[in-house]
C-alpha cells in the first residue's frame, strides 16, 4: 500500500471539515486575520532583516530600517494584489506552506527567513504578464505560455534594484525548475537548483493543486499526496516531497486551516 492510500483514512476522517473549508474557498479564498497578522509581524521583525551572519541582533537593528524593509515587501505584495488578487493570495498561502516545510526539514534562522520572503515574492513577475493571458479561461497558446514562463525572469528584474532582497533572487528565478532538469527558465537539475527554490516549488505546487482555477479543478488531499509521490525525484526534490507528504498527512486543516472562518457579513 502506498503512502497516499495509507493516509487516505486520516484524510477521510476530516471530510466534514474539508467540505466546509471547500465552501469557504469558493468565497474567493479570504486569508484569515491571524495569518495576515503573522505575516505583518514576521515582516516587521525577522523577515525584513538581511541575511549575512555578521548582521547585528534584531534588538540592535534600527526600527525605521526594519519598517522600511517590511514596507517594501508589503508594497510589492500590494502591487501584485492590484494586478492579480488571486496570485497575491496564493503567494501568502505559499509562504505559510513553505514555512511549514522549512520547519519540517529542520531549517531555522536566516535560511527560513529567506525562503519565507522568497515565497511571498516568487510570482511578483506576473505583474508584467498581460491580464488577457493571466486570466485566460482556456488553454494558452505556445506563444502565450512562453510569455507566462517569463515571469520568474521578470520577477528578478523587478526585485534586482532592491539590494536587501538579493538573497531571494535565485529562488524567484528558479521556482519553476524541475528536479529532473525539465523545468524552466534554465533547465537546471537536482542540487543545481537553489534549495530555497526547491522548497518554494513544492509549496507552490501544493497550493496550485489544492485550488480550483479557471483552467482546472482542485485535487483532493489523497490526489495531492499521490501527485507528490509520483513527482518525487522527477518534478520535486524527493526529500522535500517526503516532508510535504508527511505534513499533508496530518489532514486538510494543514492546507485549508489558514482560511478565514465563514462570516455572516462575507457577502455583504
Binding site for Fe ion (CB under 5 A): 123, 204
CB of 151 to Fe ion, least distance (A): 6
Q: How many CB atoms lie under 10 A from the CB of residue 21?
A: 17
Separation between Cα atoms, residue 262 and residue 200, nearest integer Å: 28
113 vs 176, which CB is nearer to Fe ion?
Answer: 176
Query: Which long-range contacts does 212-218 make (Cβ < 8 Å, 24+ apart)?
Result: 212/25, 212/26, 213/86, 214/135, 214/136, 214/137, 215/136, 215/137, 215/138, 215/139, 218/22, 218/25
113 vs 151, which CB is nearer to Fe ion?
Answer: 151
CB of 67 to Fe ion, least distance (A): 27
Phi-psi region of 121 (alpha: psi -120 to 50; beta: other; left: phi over 0): alpha
Residue 236, SS3 per DSSP: strand
DSSP 74-109: HHHHHHHHHH-HHHHHHHHHHHHHHHHHHHHTT--S
Q: Are 224 and 200 in contact (CB under 8 A)?
A: no
CB of 43 to Fe ion, least distance (A): 19
> Which one, of 51, 121, 138, lies nearest residue 87 by Cα?
121
61 vs 86, which CB is nearer to Fe ion?
Answer: 86
11 vs 193, which CB is nearer to Fe ion?
Answer: 193
> Which one, of 102, 103, 127, 112, lies nearest residue 51 by Cα?
112
CB of 206 to Fe ion, least distance (A): 10
CB of 94 to Fe ion, least distance (A): 6
Separation between Cα atoms, residue 194 and residue 170, nearest integer Å: 7
CB of 231 to Fe ion, least distance (A): 16
50 vs 150, which CB is nearer to Fe ion?
Answer: 150
49 vs 259, which CB is nearer to Fe ion?
Answer: 259
CB of 264 to Fe ion, least distance (A): 32
7 vs 73, which CB is nearer to Fe ion?
Answer: 73
Which H helix or E strand runs over 201? helix 195-210
CB of 120 to Fe ion, least distance (A): 11
- DSSP classification of residue 170: H
CA-atom Rg of the chain in angstroms: 18
84 vs 123, which CB is nearer to Fe ion?
Answer: 123
Amino acid at each position: 500500500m502506498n503512502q497516499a492510500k495509507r493516509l487516505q483514512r486520516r484524510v477521510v476522517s476530516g471530510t466534514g471539515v474539508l467540505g466546509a473549508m471547500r465552501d469557504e474557498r469558493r468565497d474567493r479564498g479570504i486569508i484569515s486575520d491571524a495569518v495576515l497578522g503573522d505575516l505583518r509581524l514576521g515582516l516587521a521583525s525577522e523577515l525584513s532583516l538581511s541575511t549575512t551572519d555578521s548582521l547585528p541582533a534584531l534588538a540592535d537593528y534600527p526600527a525605521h530600517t526594519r519598517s522600511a524593509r517590511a514596507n517594501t515587501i508589503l508594497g510589492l505584495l500590494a502591487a501584485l494584489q492590484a494586478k492579480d488578487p488571486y496570485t497575491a493570495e496564493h503567494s501568502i498561502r505559499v509562504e505559510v506552506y513553505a514555512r511549514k516545510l522549512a520547519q519540517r526539514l529542520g531549517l531555522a534562522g536566516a535560511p527560513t527567513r529567506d525562503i519565507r520572503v522568497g515565497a511571498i515574492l516568487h510570482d511578483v513577475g506576473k505583474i508584467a504578464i498581460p491580464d488577457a493571458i493571466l486570466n485566460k479561461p482556456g488553454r494558452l497558446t505556445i506563444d502565450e505560455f512562453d510569455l507566462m514562463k517569463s515571469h520568474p525572469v521578470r520577477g528578478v528584474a523587478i526585485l534586482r534594484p532592491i539590494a536587501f532582497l538579493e538573497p531571494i533572487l535565485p529562488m524567484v528565478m528558479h521556482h519553476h525548475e524541475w528536479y529532473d532538469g525539465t523545468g524552466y527558465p534554465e533547465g537546471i537539475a537536482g542540487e543545481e537548483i537553489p534549495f530555497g527554490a526547491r522548497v518554494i516549488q513544492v509549496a507552490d505546487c501544493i497550493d496550485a493543486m489544492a485550488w480550483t482555477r479557471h483552467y482546472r479543478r482542485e485535487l483532493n488531499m489523497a490526489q495531492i499526496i499521490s501527485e507528490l509521490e509520483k513527482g518525487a525525484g522527477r518534478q520535486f526534490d524527493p526529500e522535500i516531497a517526503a516532508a510535504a507528504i508527511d505534513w499533508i498527512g496530518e489532514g486538510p486543516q494543514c492546507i485549508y486551516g489558514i482560511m478565514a472562518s465563514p462570516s455572516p457579513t462575507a457577502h455583504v
